[in-house]
Chain A
Amino acid sequence: MSRQMSRNAALAPILAGAGALALVLTGCAGGTGNAAAPTAFTYLINSENTMIPGQITALSEDQCKTENTALPLKVETVPQTNLDQKLQLLAGQNALPAMYAAGNAPALTKTLDESGNVVDFEVALAEIGALDDIEPAAISTIKSLYGGKFNVLPYQYNIEGIWYNKQVFADAGVEVPATWGELVAASAAIAKTGVTPFSASGEQGWPLTRLVGDYLFRDLGADALQKVADGDAKLTDPEYVAAAQAIADLGAAGYFGQGVGSIDYDTAASQFLNGKAAMFYMGSWILESLNDPERNKIGADNVGFMPFPAVEGGKGSIDEYPANVGLPSTMSAKVYDDKVADWLGCIAENYGSAALKDQGTISGFKANSEVSGVDPLTQVVQTTISESTSSVLWFEALFSTKATTTSQTNAAQLVTGAISAEEFMKLVQADLDS
């Protein structure tokens, strides 16, 4: 008995130590309340995106020099595939930086917002009198994405459509298709000339699911996916499966070329820019490459832009361009103070014209100073944006992170025929239901 006692006595400090350590660990995890005032204007962004941090850095050396002296800019990067994990961990530790890329799916941004980690820009920009620096179209796109709230900054404002090689179209003797039937016929004619009709990255997946989404908008109307999000329709309904089937048929005919599942984003872009593919469905952020003679071997004059075609008998209009704000950035409400607000004001005032001038890209910030010498293709997009009255989102815009992943990782299988259109829609719907 006494031996037992002495052993217990000896073990007691060890157990107590372990317990104390566990308590310390508990203290580290989770957390509420406000973080300390920032000592730097830290910007966490996915490493694939070099344009925005480059432009903000340029601002910090020029128009926003005062703000930068008060609160120096510090750019941190993380690979896009690790971004969501990083954000969740930082949020859990109350350590989100002043400005950060808002996550791969709007669902995550909404979660961050619900936990008080996201600045409401409608309020913040109004307070500093800079709400007028944002394009109304961009605000409406953001609100439809983020459940009616202006939660992210539109460093990019993109419309999407099909970029095409005019020369290849002429060689194949096809006109710019206005309907889905014409697009399929044009693809057949182009394939006969030995050029791959579409360049697309199956490795990324989203360039393929965008086509499914657009087909749905054209066929069933702009509210097609809102109905799915609200539970009023299911992706497994025949009219929804028909959209996946239409894209699967393009794949079955070989119009995406060989090994589409292994093609990454850069390869897909360079196939089009080198004239190996006739069409490239992509957002207007690709203007940077199209305007770059180093990368664009077919010449900017040779590139045309057309909207996703109408579906015969469909409810949607060809004039409704899919629009988005790229992978947007937002600010942490927990470290938002006067110095960060000064930065926000300076960015809102200057980003639009600076991005247009330096990179030829269009943002959701108004170009407050006159920019001359804009590339013709950029002008085409600018005109399209200013003339369009309504826009649509994309296939996964209103999906959960899980359903988004499932949709994008299975997209390549849909067009290679490894899974059927029904199976594809069933997989995504299952994740929406769970």
Chain B
Amino acid sequence: MKHVLGDKRAIAILLGPALLVYTAVMLVPVLWSLGYTVFEGNTIIGFTFVGFDNFTRLAGDPKVWDAVLFTLKYALVVTVGQVFIGYLMSLLYVFVLKKSSNIVRTLVFFPVVLPTVAVALLFQKLFEVAPQTGVVNSIINSFGGESVDWFGSGANAFLVIAIMDIWRSIGFYGVLLYAGIVEIPEDTLESARLDGATGWGLVRHIVLPLSLPVLLSAVIFSINGTLKVFDTIIALTNGGPGNATSPLTLYMFQTSFSYGEYGYGSTIALLLTIVCLLVTVFIFRSSRRDLTKA
């Protein structure tokens, strides 16, 4: 084996096909899109070179910065919600439900496998105000409150999106973190208990430090997923009302494919890439050790 892997030609033959496919479906479109940033136009009218016009336009486009703000706000709130509640779920599985957690884990995991559009329709109906009064508004009414038009203002719509996305993914993060916590050796926990650590103290000083690597992996998973959010928002609010819940991805999509501005759309895509890169680097840096070795 060592002999084979020492031979550069063998490596080339082994990697070649995958590299070719990767180049065709990833690298070429990425570089292509990068090239579009200095052009404007679309496939119907053709492309014209515009230099750095798209970048100056990007800097002065309030909609882009609204979208960046929304994207970051969404990523922060949903990541914190997903990982924090997921962590609580995993603690519940390991320390309270113990061996009998199977059924609960399955039930909590269930929303993860549901199609996004189905979940979005479900939440649309739950939070509906007209033509029928949805469950949430019925509950508010039964306590004597006025019905709320949940999709009528940006703040309310954001709340519904956040609740929906957290609900549908805590099962995933619960299981992911459960796998990390369940690996903590029983001896370590036992000796901590003998030293008098119980409840919160045990979690704070033993479980949390030992599950930190998997916790940080979960955060990176979540933040990168949420920065690129698209389908849930398209299905639930379509970016509305107005563009109050439009993330960068949606603005990029509309610019390119609805308004036919491929160049400017690619420039927005580049911005999104840079945002993702910065956030990931920031998390890597702020974690205490190299997660790739964890």
Contact = CB atoms under 8 A, between A and B. Distances in A.
Contacts of B149: 258-259, 261-262, 416
B258 A84 contact: yes
Given A21-B23, A89-B43, A258-B147, A418 B154 contact: yes
A6 B8 contact: yes
B40 interface: no
A263 B151 CA distance: 11
Given A85-B257, A88-B257, A418-B154, A258 B243 contact: no
Residue of A108, A112, A258, A405 contacting most chain B CB atoms (<10 Å): A258
Interface stretch (A11-19, A126-134, A186-194, A210-218): A11-19
Contacts of B27: 18
Instruction: Assign chain B's interface to a size class.
Output: 35 or more
Contacts of B19: 14, 18
Contact of B129 (A91, A108, A258, A418): A258
Interface string A392-417: 00000000111001100110110010
A260 B130 contact: yes
Contacts of B124: 262
Contacts of B129: 258-259, 262
Residue of B16, B61, B147, B154 contacting most chain A CB atoms (<10 Å): B16
A14 B16 contact: yes
Contact of B20 (A18, A91, A400): A18
Interface in B91-139: 124, 128-131
B294 interface: no
B258 A92 contact: no
A57 B208 CA distance: 68
B24 interface: yes
B43 A11 contact: no
Residue of B131, B147, B243, B254 contacting most chain A CB atoms (<10 Å): B131
Given A17-B20, A409-B239, A117 B44 contact: yes
A413 B241 contact: yes
Nearest to B129: A259
A368 interface: no
A93 B151 CA distance: 38
B8 A261 contact: no
Contacts of A10: 8-9, 12
A93 B44 CA distance: 9
B152 interface: yes
B90 to A, nearest CB: 37
B45 interface: yes
A301 to B, nearest CB: 26
Contacts of B42: 88, 92
Contacts of A412: 152, 240-241
B8 A111 contact: no
Interface string A82-119: 00110011011100000000000000100110110100
A40 to B, nearest CB: 23
Contact of B258 (A18, A257, A405): A405
Nearest to A22: B28
A25 interface: yes
A88 B260 contact: yes
A14 B12 contact: yes
B130 A258 contact: yes
A258 B134 CA distance: 13
B20 A401 contact: no
A278 B210 CA distance: 66
B51 interface: no
B7 to A, nearest CB: 10
Contact of B243 (A3, A260, A409): A409
Contacts of A416: 149, 152-153, 241
A261 B151 contact: yes
A413 B57 CA distance: 27
Interface in B151-166: 151-154
Nearest to B60: A434
Interface string A225-264: 0000000000000000000000000000000011111110
A30 B32 CA distance: 13
Contacts of A400: 259
Instruction: Assign chain A's interface to a size class.
Output: 35 or more
Interface in B239-257: 239-244, 254, 257
A271 interface: yes
Residue of B24, B62, B239, B258 contacting most chain A CB atoms (<10 Å): B258
B185 interface: no
B70 to A, nearest CB: 15
B44 to A, nearest CB: 4
B130 A418 contact: no
B199 interface: no
A381 interface: no
B161 to A, nearest CB: 15
Contacts of A114: 45
Contact of A262 (B24, B45, B128, B153): B128
Contacts of B154: 418
A419 B155 CA distance: 13
A21 B29 CA distance: 12
Nearest to B124: A262
A374 interface: no
A84 B57 CA distance: 24
A29 interface: yes
B196 interface: no
B209 interface: no
Nearest to B15: A14
Contacts of A260: 130
A112 B129 CA distance: 41
A29 B41 CA distance: 14
The 5 closest A-B pairs by CB, nearest first: A92-B43, A259-B130, A259-B129, A410-B242, A10-B12
Interface of B: 8-9, 12, 16, 19-20, 23-24, 27-28, 42-46, 57, 61-62, 124, 128-131, 147, 149, 151-154, 238-244, 254, 257-260
Interface of A: 3, 6-7, 10-11, 14, 17-18, 21-22, 25, 29-30, 84-85, 88-89, 91-93, 108, 111-112, 114-115, 117, 257-263, 267, 271, 400-402, 405-406, 409-410, 412-413, 416, 418-419, 427, 430, 434
12 contacts: A21-B23, A21-B24, A22-B28, A30-B43, A111-B44, A115-B46, A262-B128, A409-B243, A412-B241, A413-B153, A418-B152, A418-B154
Given A6-B9, A258-B129, 14 more contacts: A3-B8, A14-B20, A17-B16, A18-B27, A21-B20, A30-B46, A88-B257, A111-B44, A262-B124, A262-B128, A409-B243, A410-B241, A413-B152, A427-B242
